[in-house]
Amino acid sequence: MPHIRTEDLDIEFFETGAQHGKPVLLLHGWPDDATTWNAVAERLKDRHMRFVTPYLRGFGPTTFRNGRTPRTANGGILAMDAIALMDGLGIERFSVVGHDWGSHIAECLAIGWPDRVERIAQLSSMPRMGGLRTPPFRQSQLYWYQWFMATKRGAEAIAKDPKGFARIQWENWAPDGWFDEATFEEVSKSFENRDWVAISLHSYRVRWGEAEPDPRSLWLESTVKETKSLSLPAMFIQGKADGVTPETMSENVHEKFTGAFERVLLQNVGHFPQREDPEAVARELAVFLEG
Protein backbone atom coordinates (compact mmCIF):
# COMPACT_ATOMS: atom_id res chain seq x y z
CA MET A 1 0.00 0.00 0.00
CA PRO A 2 1.42 3.44 -0.89
CA HIS A 3 2.09 6.01 1.79
CA ILE A 4 2.94 9.68 2.12
CA ARG A 5 5.07 11.09 4.93
CA THR A 6 3.81 14.42 6.29
CA GLU A 7 5.03 16.54 9.19
CA ASP A 8 3.01 14.48 11.66
CA LEU A 9 2.10 11.22 9.97
CA ASP A 10 2.88 8.33 7.73
CA ILE A 11 -0.43 8.24 5.84
CA GLU A 12 -1.35 4.95 4.19
CA PHE A 13 -3.87 5.14 1.36
CA PHE A 14 -5.39 3.35 -1.60
CA GLU A 15 -5.05 4.82 -5.07
CA THR A 16 -7.38 3.41 -7.72
CA GLY A 17 -8.99 4.40 -11.00
CA ALA A 18 -7.33 6.35 -13.81
CA GLN A 19 -3.88 7.75 -12.95
CA HIS A 20 -4.56 10.84 -15.06
CA GLY A 21 -8.28 11.06 -14.28
CA LYS A 22 -10.13 13.71 -12.28
CA PRO A 23 -8.79 13.53 -8.71
CA VAL A 24 -11.33 12.57 -6.05
CA LEU A 25 -10.45 12.33 -2.36
CA LEU A 26 -12.56 9.70 -0.55
CA LEU A 27 -12.68 10.13 3.24
CA HIS A 28 -14.02 7.59 5.70
CA GLY A 29 -15.74 8.16 9.01
CA TRP A 30 -16.04 6.62 12.47
CA PRO A 31 -16.07 3.82 13.38
CA ASP A 32 -14.92 2.69 9.94
CA ASP A 33 -11.86 2.74 7.71
CA ALA A 34 -10.70 3.37 4.16
CA THR A 35 -12.13 0.08 2.85
CA THR A 36 -15.60 1.61 3.22
CA TRP A 37 -15.13 3.05 -0.29
CA ASN A 38 -13.94 -0.13 -2.03
CA ALA A 39 -17.28 -1.14 -3.53
CA VAL A 40 -18.11 2.39 -4.70
CA ALA A 41 -14.67 2.96 -6.25
CA GLU A 42 -14.89 -0.40 -8.02
CA ARG A 43 -18.19 0.62 -9.64
CA LEU A 44 -16.66 3.91 -10.79
CA LYS A 45 -13.39 2.49 -12.08
CA ASP A 46 -14.25 3.21 -15.73
CA ARG A 47 -15.26 6.85 -15.13
CA HIS A 48 -11.82 8.38 -15.71
CA MET A 49 -11.42 9.37 -12.08
CA ARG A 50 -8.39 9.05 -9.83
CA PHE A 51 -9.45 7.99 -6.35
CA VAL A 52 -7.25 8.69 -3.33
CA THR A 53 -8.56 6.94 -0.22
CA PRO A 54 -6.54 7.43 2.99
CA TYR A 55 -6.77 5.94 6.44
CA LEU A 56 -7.31 8.89 8.79
CA ARG A 57 -4.91 9.52 11.66
CA GLY A 58 -5.31 6.88 14.35
CA PHE A 59 -6.91 4.34 11.99
CA GLY A 60 -5.34 1.20 10.58
CA PRO A 61 -1.82 1.57 9.17
CA THR A 62 -1.69 5.39 9.33
CA THR A 63 0.65 6.23 12.20
CA PHE A 64 2.15 9.21 13.99
CA ARG A 65 5.83 9.77 13.35
CA ASN A 66 6.69 10.54 16.96
CA GLY A 67 5.22 10.35 20.43
CA ARG A 68 5.27 14.08 21.09
CA THR A 69 2.66 15.01 18.48
CA PRO A 70 -0.71 15.75 20.15
CA ARG A 71 -3.28 13.04 19.44
CA THR A 72 -5.84 15.55 18.21
CA ALA A 73 -8.68 14.91 15.77
CA ASN A 74 -10.76 18.05 15.37
CA GLY A 75 -12.01 18.66 11.84
CA GLY A 76 -9.47 21.38 11.12
CA ILE A 77 -6.40 19.26 11.84
CA LEU A 78 -7.88 16.32 9.91
CA ALA A 79 -8.38 18.64 6.93
CA MET A 80 -4.76 19.76 7.24
CA ASP A 81 -3.74 16.09 7.10
CA ALA A 82 -5.76 15.73 3.90
CA ILE A 83 -4.15 18.77 2.29
CA ALA A 84 -0.69 17.48 3.23
CA LEU A 85 -1.55 14.19 1.54
CA MET A 86 -2.71 15.87 -1.66
CA ASP A 87 0.35 18.13 -1.62
CA GLY A 88 2.55 15.07 -1.34
CA LEU A 89 0.83 13.56 -4.37
CA GLY A 90 1.17 16.79 -6.34
CA ILE A 91 -2.60 17.13 -6.72
CA GLU A 92 -3.72 20.76 -6.83
CA ARG A 93 -7.44 20.60 -7.70
CA PHE A 94 -9.77 17.84 -6.56
CA SER A 95 -13.27 16.93 -5.41
CA VAL A 96 -14.02 15.44 -2.00
CA VAL A 97 -16.48 12.76 -0.97
CA GLY A 98 -16.72 12.25 2.79
CA HIS A 99 -18.73 10.01 5.08
CA ASP A 100 -19.35 10.82 8.75
CA TRP A 101 -16.05 12.35 9.97
CA GLY A 102 -15.12 12.63 6.31
CA SER A 103 -18.23 14.75 5.71
CA HIS A 104 -16.96 17.43 8.08
CA ILE A 105 -13.43 17.20 6.71
CA ALA A 106 -14.87 17.82 3.25
CA GLU A 107 -16.49 21.10 4.29
CA CYS A 108 -13.34 22.13 6.18
CA LEU A 109 -11.35 21.60 2.99
CA ALA A 110 -13.84 23.59 0.92
CA ILE A 111 -13.77 26.46 3.43
CA GLY A 112 -10.04 26.46 4.06
CA TRP A 113 -8.87 25.90 0.48
CA PRO A 114 -11.70 27.12 -1.80
CA ASP A 115 -9.34 27.46 -4.76
CA ARG A 116 -8.43 23.78 -4.59
CA VAL A 117 -11.74 22.02 -3.93
CA GLU A 118 -14.06 21.72 -6.94
CA ARG A 119 -17.09 20.08 -5.32
CA ILE A 120 -18.04 18.11 -2.21
CA ALA A 121 -20.39 15.23 -1.48
CA GLN A 122 -21.25 14.64 2.18
CA LEU A 123 -22.72 11.39 3.44
CA SER A 124 -24.76 10.88 6.60
CA SER A 125 -23.31 13.61 8.84
CA MET A 126 -24.64 17.15 8.75
CA PRO A 127 -22.52 20.18 7.82
CA ARG A 128 -21.09 21.94 10.88
CA MET A 129 -20.32 25.32 9.33
CA GLY A 130 -21.69 28.08 11.51
CA GLY A 131 -20.90 26.09 14.66
CA LEU A 132 -22.58 23.28 16.59
CA ARG A 133 -25.51 23.90 18.90
CA THR A 134 -26.58 21.64 21.72
CA PRO A 135 -29.08 19.25 20.11
CA PRO A 136 -32.65 18.68 21.34
CA PHE A 137 -33.11 15.96 23.95
CA ARG A 138 -34.24 13.29 21.47
CA GLN A 139 -31.18 13.82 19.30
CA SER A 140 -28.99 13.98 22.40
CA GLN A 141 -30.30 10.53 23.29
CA LEU A 142 -29.03 9.22 19.95
CA TYR A 143 -25.68 10.87 20.69
CA TRP A 144 -25.25 8.87 23.92
CA TYR A 145 -21.90 7.53 22.72
CA GLN A 146 -20.55 11.09 22.40
CA TRP A 147 -21.53 11.98 25.97
CA PHE A 148 -20.13 8.61 27.13
CA MET A 149 -16.78 9.51 25.58
CA ALA A 150 -16.73 12.79 27.50
CA THR A 151 -16.56 10.95 30.85
CA LYS A 152 -13.57 9.39 32.60
CA ARG A 153 -15.33 6.07 33.14
CA GLY A 154 -16.53 6.02 29.57
CA ALA A 155 -13.01 6.56 28.30
CA GLU A 156 -11.73 3.74 30.52
CA ALA A 157 -14.41 1.36 29.27
CA ILE A 158 -13.68 2.18 25.62
CA ALA A 159 -9.96 1.65 26.13
CA LYS A 160 -10.71 -1.83 27.53
CA ASP A 161 -12.93 -2.84 24.60
CA PRO A 162 -12.63 -0.48 21.60
CA LYS A 163 -14.02 -3.03 19.15
CA GLY A 164 -17.05 -3.71 21.34
CA PHE A 165 -17.76 0.02 21.52
CA ALA A 166 -17.47 0.36 17.74
CA ARG A 167 -19.71 -2.64 17.12
CA ILE A 168 -22.56 -1.14 19.15
CA GLN A 169 -22.62 1.76 16.70
CA TRP A 170 -22.69 -0.56 13.69
CA GLU A 171 -25.63 -2.40 15.25
CA ASN A 172 -27.55 0.75 16.23
CA TRP A 173 -27.03 2.96 13.21
CA ALA A 174 -28.47 0.85 10.39
CA PRO A 175 -31.14 -1.83 9.78
CA ASP A 176 -30.54 -5.29 11.22
CA GLY A 177 -28.42 -7.60 9.13
CA TRP A 178 -26.67 -4.94 7.05
CA PHE A 179 -23.18 -6.32 7.76
CA ASP A 180 -21.64 -9.74 8.23
CA GLU A 181 -19.19 -10.86 10.89
CA ALA A 182 -16.28 -11.14 8.46
CA THR A 183 -16.67 -7.52 7.35
CA PHE A 184 -16.75 -6.14 10.87
CA GLU A 185 -13.82 -8.28 11.97
CA GLU A 186 -11.73 -7.06 9.05
CA VAL A 187 -12.60 -3.39 9.54
CA SER A 188 -12.14 -3.58 13.31
CA LYS A 189 -8.46 -4.37 12.79
CA SER A 190 -8.14 -0.65 12.02
CA PHE A 191 -9.26 0.06 15.58
CA GLU A 192 -6.19 -1.78 16.89
CA ASN A 193 -4.10 1.27 16.02
CA ARG A 194 -2.45 2.38 19.28
CA ASP A 195 -3.90 5.88 18.91
CA TRP A 196 -7.45 4.99 17.85
CA VAL A 197 -8.95 5.49 21.31
CA ALA A 198 -7.20 8.82 21.94
CA ILE A 199 -8.15 10.08 18.47
CA SER A 200 -11.78 8.99 18.92
CA LEU A 201 -12.06 10.62 22.33
CA HIS A 202 -10.59 13.91 21.18
CA SER A 203 -12.79 14.11 18.08
CA TYR A 204 -15.99 13.89 20.09
CA ARG A 205 -14.86 15.82 23.14
CA VAL A 206 -13.62 18.78 21.13
CA ARG A 207 -16.85 19.26 19.23
CA TRP A 208 -18.76 19.91 22.47
CA GLY A 209 -16.13 22.06 24.14
CA GLU A 210 -14.73 19.32 26.40
CA ALA A 211 -11.29 19.52 24.76
CA GLU A 212 -9.31 22.10 22.81
CA PRO A 213 -8.66 21.93 19.05
CA ASP A 214 -5.13 21.42 17.82
CA PRO A 215 -3.57 24.93 18.08
CA ARG A 216 -2.22 24.73 14.54
CA SER A 217 -5.75 24.46 13.20
CA LEU A 218 -7.40 27.27 15.16
CA TRP A 219 -7.44 29.50 12.09
CA LEU A 220 -9.51 26.93 10.22
CA GLU A 221 -11.79 26.09 13.14
CA SER A 222 -12.71 29.76 13.54
CA THR A 223 -13.23 30.18 9.79
CA VAL A 224 -15.60 27.19 9.70
CA LYS A 225 -17.63 28.64 12.58
CA GLU A 226 -17.81 32.01 10.83
CA THR A 227 -18.87 30.49 7.50
CA LYS A 228 -22.64 30.33 7.00
CA SER A 229 -22.79 28.75 3.55
CA LEU A 230 -20.79 27.41 0.62
CA SER A 231 -21.27 28.18 -3.05
CA LEU A 232 -19.45 25.26 -4.70
CA PRO A 233 -21.46 22.35 -6.17
CA ALA A 234 -22.51 20.05 -3.34
CA MET A 235 -24.48 16.88 -2.63
CA PHE A 236 -25.81 15.39 0.61
CA ILE A 237 -26.58 11.65 0.70
CA GLN A 238 -28.47 10.10 3.59
CA GLY A 239 -30.11 6.79 4.41
CA LYS A 240 -33.76 7.08 5.42
CA ALA A 241 -33.15 4.44 8.11
CA ASP A 242 -30.13 6.18 9.66
CA GLY A 243 -30.16 5.31 13.35
CA VAL A 244 -28.09 8.27 14.55
CA THR A 245 -28.88 11.05 12.07
CA PRO A 246 -32.63 10.96 11.29
CA GLU A 247 -33.62 12.26 7.87
CA THR A 248 -35.53 15.10 9.50
CA MET A 249 -32.19 16.61 10.51
CA SER A 250 -31.27 17.24 6.88
CA GLU A 251 -34.59 18.71 5.71
CA ASN A 252 -33.09 22.22 5.65
CA VAL A 253 -29.53 21.26 4.74
CA HIS A 254 -29.94 23.06 1.40
CA GLU A 255 -29.82 26.35 3.29
CA LYS A 256 -26.09 25.78 3.86
CA PHE A 257 -25.39 25.88 0.11
CA THR A 258 -25.98 28.69 -2.35
CA GLY A 259 -24.68 26.90 -5.46
CA ALA A 260 -25.87 23.76 -7.23
CA PHE A 261 -27.08 21.37 -4.55
CA GLU A 262 -28.88 18.03 -4.34
CA ARG A 263 -30.12 16.04 -1.35
CA VAL A 264 -30.42 12.30 -1.96
CA LEU A 265 -32.38 10.00 0.37
CA LEU A 266 -31.90 6.24 0.08
CA GLN A 267 -34.62 3.79 1.09
CA ASN A 268 -33.82 0.99 3.58
CA VAL A 269 -30.33 2.40 4.15
CA GLY A 270 -28.84 3.44 7.48
CA HIS A 271 -25.76 5.44 8.43
CA PHE A 272 -23.33 3.67 6.08
CA PRO A 273 -24.77 4.22 2.55
CA GLN A 274 -21.49 3.45 0.75
CA ARG A 275 -21.37 0.03 2.43
CA GLU A 276 -25.09 -0.72 2.51
CA ASP A 277 -26.00 0.33 -1.04
CA PRO A 278 -22.80 1.02 -3.01
CA GLU A 279 -24.68 0.70 -6.30
CA ALA A 280 -26.96 3.64 -5.51
CA VAL A 281 -24.14 5.75 -4.06
CA ALA A 282 -21.91 5.10 -7.06
CA ARG A 283 -24.75 5.99 -9.44
CA GLU A 284 -25.36 9.32 -7.71
CA LEU A 285 -21.65 10.17 -7.46
CA ALA A 286 -20.99 9.30 -11.10
CA VAL A 287 -23.36 12.03 -12.25
CA PHE A 288 -22.32 14.51 -9.58
CA LEU A 289 -18.53 14.18 -9.95
CA GLU A 290 -18.66 14.34 -13.74
CA GLY A 291 -20.79 17.48 -13.68
Q: What pLDDT is recorded for position 1?
A: 86
Rounded Cα distance, 95 and 223, in Å: 20
Provide the pairing of β-strand 9-17 with 3-5: antiparallel
Q: What pLDDT is recorded for position 10?
A: 98
One DSSP character per residue, 40-73 reads HHHHTTTSSEEEEEEPPTTSTT-EESSTTS----
CA angle centred on 269, ends 229 and 62, rounded to 5°: 70
Check residue 178 and report its DSSP letter.
S
Question: Which of the four CATH numbers 3.40.50.1820, 3.40.50.300, 3.40.140.10, 3.40.190.10 does domain 3-289 have?
Answer: 3.40.50.1820
* Amino acid in position 122: Q
Element (H, E) at 235: strand 234-239
Given a cut of 70, the residues of the chain with pLDDT beneath it are: none
The Cα-based distances of 268 to 166, 271, 272, 277, 287 in angstroms read 22, 10, 11, 9, 22
Rounded Cα distance, 237 and 215, in Å: 32
Contact 216, 77 (CB under 8 A): yes
Q: How far apart are the first and last CA of the chain?
A: 30
Q: What pLDDT is recorded for position 218?
A: 98
Rounded Cα distance, 263 and 250, in Å: 8
Check residue 237 and report its DSSP letter.
E
pLDDT tens for 153-165 read 999 999 999 999 9
Q: What pLDDT is recorded for position 252?
A: 97
* Amino acid in position 232: L
Rounded Cα distance, 74 and 189, in Å: 23
Q: What pLDDT is recorded for position 238?
A: 98
Torsion of CA 279, 139, 232, 273, to 10 degrees: -10
Q: What pLDDT is recorded for position 128?
A: 97
Mean pLDDT of the chain: 97
Predicted TM-score (pTM) of this structure: 0.98
Rounded Cα distance, 32 and 100, in Å: 9
3-state helix, strand, coil in the chain (%, to 5): 45, 20, 40
